[in-house]
Structure 1
Amino acid sequence: MVTTLPAAATPEQAGPGRAEVLDQVARLADLEESAVEQMRAEALGAPTRGVVAYGDYQSGGWWTTSLLNHSGDPHDVVIGDGRPRPTSLLEEMPATARFLDLLGLDFMYVRLARLEPHSYLWEHRDYAELRERGRHRLHIPLVTNPSAVLITAGARVHLAAGSLWRLTPSRAHGVCNTTGPDRLHLIADVYADDAYQALAARPHLHDTDAADLPQMTAADRAGLLARAGQLVDLGFPDAAEQTLLRAFYTYALPEGGAYDLIAGLHAGRRAHPDANRWRAAKAYLLVRP
């Protein structure tokens, strides 16, 4: 199932500005095309799109369903520690079950995650159980497109199909799918053991995987705030806030910079309860370990 493993990448080999990106997201191995195709077919044929969970972290359009969890119910998607068992959905996906078994990893939770077009996972850190030592997150893209990207460490990264990727959620990050079609990933949370260490021994990125985001200029900031203010004046405060939230996917902002823009917008209009609400949202979504 796992094929080519390139030589391990050092920070120097990662190229200028890439060491921080490689620390957060990396290819670990290439996968056999036939295995990916079989899993893709099973995922696309799944009888459910899943459920919306962790709603505070997204714009809407992000659906998950479980393949390995603690209850066996595929709609139980709130991850947690423990020894999982196959859900009723995985029992209908033999190629995926075989792939997971052949990886030989110590699984904590496995899900299918679908991100619809025009959807965003807002800037956040992942849940506390993944920030503790000995837990890691793997992504296997099954369906994707160039507009489906991860934003982390000031860069835009496209997780291409055909590889197994590691995502480290220690830094704030976000995901978007701006044009579609749906982005469909197999996400496995695993415990560190010898099998994982062997799989993760050669992290790397291709030259075209990541692109640096530009810095926001004073003119950029003024223009964004002006557009957001116009939307508020027209009676569309939610649209104004989402305009500023999406700045995270366009510019290399400081951590929480998009939330600061929204709080500043409301504070400048003397809407202090709204400003405080977004300051609290920033603290909640970017909570540190």
Structure 2
Amino acid sequence: MSEYGQHQSGGWWTLSLLNDTGTPTDVTIKDCDPVETTLLRRMPATRKFLSSLGLRYMWVRLARLEPNSFLWEHRDYSELDGTEHQRLHLPLVTNSSSALVTGGARVHMAGGYLWRLNPTHVHGACNLLGPDRIHLVMDCYADDGLARLTENETLNESEVERLPAATQPQMDEWRRTAENLMRLGYHDTAERYLLRLFYSHTLPDGQVYDLIVSLYESLGRDAEAAQWRATKPVLLGTT
């Protein structure tokens, strides 16, 4: 199922293995005591693996990100209760052009490892060239089981690509390029041109959305500017 349409470029698909209803196509995450979906019942090896980790799960999904697809800059869990949650990724199919971007760094989540993410930090994901990136994504509650699993976690600095900081002249030039694309009628291309800057440069949180708002304001397109102004706090979880 494709879900969270505002958060993505298209090409992001998920099916649930553990959720609140047992139906695989229910993929909107919420706090719950999950049950097995009909899909997980047909996957005995995956069921055994999930059980072996000793975690208290909130939600578990299979997630596919197609080539030339993006999860735009966003923050998760803002709609959940105050309980601490963590997210684990197990790459099943991956490639070197796919990456998680957070805190001004790109990290390729290589196969053979469990990767932990705190999604309350601003982040995004991309799969530039393909093939499909497929991950087992486990949202779980922070407890002793998670602490035991992650007590020896490490991150090799060689796996982290630090992104260059964007300068004001660069941002001015990027906005001019987007404006030229917009005047030629390539509206979606102009928006995506600016959205993709998150994956190549270190920018303040939400700066790409501010650039899009500024772009539409400069063209006198107040409705589109207002739409993106309203979208920014939704994606960044500040509503």
- Give yes or no for the alignment of 1:239 onto 2:189: yes
| CA RMSD of superposed structures (Å) | 1.5
CA contact (8 A) 2:63 2:135 kept: yes
Distance in 1 between residues matched to 2:107 and 2:127, nearest whole Å: 12
Does the 8 Å CA contact 2:68/2:126 hold for their aligned counterparts? yes
CA-CA distance at 1:202 after TM superposition: 2.5
Q: Is the 8 A contact 2:77 2:120 kept in 1?
A: no
Could you say which residue in structure 2 is the equivalent of 1:102? Answer: 52
Q: Which residues in structure 2 correspond to 1:42-57 (within 5 Å)?
A: 51-57=1-7
Indicate the residue corresponding to 1:287 in structure 2.
237
Name the CA shift for 1:131/1:166 in 2 (closer, same or farther; >3 Å): farther
**Aligned-pair distance for 1:272?**
2.1
- For 1:174-253, list aligned pairs within 5 A: 174-253=124-203
Relative to the length of structure 2, the TM-score reads 0.95
**What whole-Å deviation, never above 9, does each CA across 1:88-130 have from its counterpart, x for those lacking one?**
1111111111100111111111100000000000001013255
SS at the partner of 2:130?
coil
- Partner in structure 1 of residue 67 of structure 2: 117
Which residue number in structure 2 is paired with residue 168 of structure 1? 118
Equivalents in 1 of 2:238, 2:214: separation in Å?
Answer: 22
Q: 2:38 aligns with which of 83, 88, 96?
A: 88
Over residues 253-282 of structure 1, what are the superposed CA-to-partner deviations in whole Å (9 max), with x where a residue is unaligned? 000010011111111222222222211111
Q: Which amino acid aligns with 1:173?
A: H
2:103 is matched with 153
For the 8 Å contact 1:131–1:170, the answer to whether it is kept is no
Q: Identity rate of aligned residues, in percent?
A: 51
Could you tell me how far apart the structure 2 residues matched to 1:91 and 1:133 are?
A: 28
Separation in structure 2 between the aligned mates of residue 82 and residue 268 of structure 1, nearest angstrom: 45
Distance in 2 of aligned mates of 1:76 and 1:218: 43
- Does the residue aligned with 1:208 lie in a helix, a strand or coil? helix
8 Å Cα contact 2:57-2:141 kept in structure 1 = yes
How far apart in 2 are the matches of 1:261 and 1:203?
A: 37
Going from structure 1 to structure 2, the CA distance change for 1:151 and 1:131 (only over 3 Å counts) comes to: farther
User: Does 58-67 or 93-102 show the bigger shift?
Assistant: 93-102
Q: Secondary structure at the match of 1:79?
A: coil
Deviations 1:209-252, CA, capped at 9 Å, x for gaps = 21110111334223322221121111121111111011111110
Determine the structure 2 residue equivalent to 1:47: none
| Consecutive unaligned residues in structure 2, runs of 5 or more | none
How many residues are aligned here? 239
Deviations 1:170-200 (A, max 9, x none): 2211111111110100011111222111112
Moved over 4 A (4+): none
Deviations 1:143-189 (A, max 9, x none): 11111111101111111111111110122111111111101000111
Equivalent position amino acid for 1:259 in 2: Y
- Unaligned runs of 5+ residues in structure 1 are 1-50
Deviations 1:12-61 (Å, cap 9, x if unpaired)?
xxxxxxxxxxxxxxxxxxxxxxxxxxxxxxxxxxxxxxx00111110100
